[in-house]
Amino acid sequence: MGGRHFVRRVWGGWRRALGVGATPKDAGFGTEARHQRQPRGSSKRPWRLGDQPFPGLLRPEGLSRAELVEVLRAAVVDQKGPLVTLNKPLGLPVTGKPGELTLLSVLPELSRALGLEEKELQVVRAPEKEASGLVLLSSCPQTASRLQKFFIHSRRAQRPTATYCAVTNGIPDTSEGTIQAALKVEPVDGVNLVVPVQHPSRKDNLEGVKRTLSHFRVVATGSGCALVQLQPLTVFPTQLQVHLVLQLCPVLGDHVHAARVGTVLGQRFLLPAETTKPRAQVLDEALLRRLHLTPSQASRLPLHLHLHCLLLPGTRPRDGPVELLAPLPPYFSRTLQCLGLCQQ
């Protein structure tokens, strides 16, 4: 199957399912799959939620281990056989330093909370800390290994398996295309930032520069913003955020890379990444009014980047991929409504 056709087919299903919680089909990984819909948690929630402009926004800082386990248990989208799918809140790191509270650090407690007893979960696929969305866990090492091989093979064949959705401040010049860029991690004022590299040499490639590629498609536009689908075909930290900055359309709520996009007389241009310090994203007055935000609130706007869809291999070799979906966070849906992006 050609990569381009594969992309179009995945995007078609993504658009139909956007914003709708769906139950994954039986992936059939050699284990009798038993559907176990998990409770969504009680109405009295102990964890910290954001203020009204950002409904449902989790503040992971300050959570206890028990509270984080409860958050993750309530975030389970589906549990079937050895696979557990949950909808990770933005801001929760998957891994970290010893002693830090991360998804990985509480997997033993989460396994017990989900009734897996001695079968401890391991992470198969997850978005970065800065993004929300699908996390795929497995209690079976053989299943996890099979899935990892599927993802690696798909990436080498340039067949996307992950579809993100993003709201951008600005509208891409073309409605669909690919973004290619050589990226590297570079210290800027003591902070490691991902920056593009123009015309990388062979020496650059040996020093951590990676050629990256993403597909994108504009689904809807309004108020100078766009709802965009993104499918990364390579893996690099903050790849999607940097790719959209290179399109002069930073992700809404990107307070790290958005400062690289300058404006003069209404025309956007790129500022040098190496000399542009991260700062809170600045939104124009019209956009602030549409979002019903003050400038102070906008400085806390969450990143609107969500891993919405994952593809897994079917039960048999000839079967098509199985689609897993994670609903959008409430603050993301609110933004779509404010901008009129969900009505197109």
Give the pLDDT confidence of 324-338 residue by residue, as tens digits.
Answer: 999 999 999 999 999
* 304 in any annotated domain: no
Please give the average per-residue pLDDT across 196-216, as a whole number: 84
* 114 in any annotated domain: yes
- Looking at the DSSP bridge assignments, the partners of residue 251 are 168
Distance CA 280, CA 255 (A): 5
Beta strands in 198-277 (DSSP E): 210-222, 225-232, 261-264, 267-270
**Cβ partners under 8 Å of residue 13, min gap 6:** 309, 323
Picking from 136, 162, 188, the residue at the C-terminal end of a domain is 162
Alpha-carbon distances, residue 242 vs 56, 166, 177 (angstroms): 26, 13, 16
92 in the same domain as 22: yes
Three-state DSSP class for residue 185:
strand
Report which residue type is found at 324: L
pLDDT above 90 covers a percentage of the chain that reads 65
* 63 in any annotated domain: yes
Backbone angles phi and psi of 42, in degrees to 5: -80, 170
Q: What is the model's pLDDT at position 342?
A: 73
28 in the same domain as 126: yes
Lowest mean pLDDT among 120-129, 192-201, 207-216: 192-201
* 314 in any annotated domain: no
Q: What angle do CA 81, 311, 221 make, to 5 degrees?
A: 135
Q: What is the model's pLDDT at position 205?
A: 65
Tell whether the model's pLDDT for residue 37 goes beyond 90: no
Tell whether the model's pLDDT for residue 246 goes beyond 60: yes
* 323 in any annotated domain: no
pLDDT above 70 covers a percentage of the chain that reads 83
Tell whether the model's pLDDT for residue 285 goes beyond 90: yes
Q: How confident is the model at residue 76 (pLDDT cuts 50, 70, 90)?
A: very high
The string of DSSP codes covering 84-104 is: EEEEEPTT--SS-STT---TG
168 in the same domain as 93: no
Characterise 42 by phi-psi region: left (phi > 0), alpha (psi -120 to 50), beta (else). beta
Q: What is the model's pLDDT at position 136?
A: 97
Distance CA 56, CA 167 (A): 17
Q: How confident is the model at residue 206 (pLDDT cuts 50, 70, 90)?
A: low
Picking from 162, 195, 225, the residue at the C-terminal end of a domain is 162
Please give the average per-residue pLDDT across 56-72, as a whole number: 87
Beta strands in 91-175 (DSSP E): 122-125, 132-138, 162-169
146 in the same domain as 20: yes
Averaged pLDDT score across all residues of the chain: 84
- Return the closest-CA partner of residue 133 out of 195, 58, 199, 197: 58
240 in the same domain as 140: no
Q: What is the number of other CB atoms lying within 10 angstroms of the CB of residue 104?
A: 16
Q: What is the model's pLDDT at position 189?
A: 77
State the total domains in the chain.
2
168 in the same domain as 156: no
Buried b (16+ CB within 10 A) or exposed e, 294-319: eeeebeebbbbbbbbbbbbbeeeeee
Q: What is the model's pLDDT at position 338?
A: 95
Which domain does 181 fall in, by range? Answer: 164-298
Q: What is the model's pLDDT at position 59?
A: 79
Report which residue type is found at 233: L
| Sign of the dihedral defined by the CA atoms of residues 51, 53, 57, 62, in that order | negative
94 in the same domain as 7: yes
197 in the same domain as 126: no
Q: What is the number of other CB atoms lying within 10 angstroms of the CB of residue 81?
A: 20
231 in the same domain as 139: no
280 in the same domain as 184: yes
294 in the same domain as 170: yes
Please give the average per-residue pLDDT across 66-82, as a whole number: 93
Evaluate whether 281 touches 244 at the Cβ level (below 8 Å): no
169 in the same domain as 127: no
